[in-house]
Amino acid sequence: MAAVKREKPEPLLDDVALCVQMGWTHEELQRQPVRFVEKLRIYLGALADRQSREQRRLEEEIERLRRMGR
């Protein structure tokens, strides 16, 4: 699993994750237009990045507030 070591998903794992998020079967995913799926992957990746940044920001804020309360 070289792709995992490089922090890049395996294509099949990427497909499975997309199916789970969208509620599709793999066959339904395969019927989608390629360009649509590419844009969807980009959009969902951007959402995940934004959520990760927000989570880190909130964790930092909680830690800052804990230090102030000591």
pLDDT in tens, 7-55: 666 888 899 999 999 999 999 999 999 999 999 999 999 999 999 999 9
Per-residue tokens: 12: 């099949």
Model-wide pTM > 0.75? no
Per-residue tokens: 58: 């909130």
- Chain centre to alpha carbon of residue 65: 29
Domain ranges of the chain: 2-69
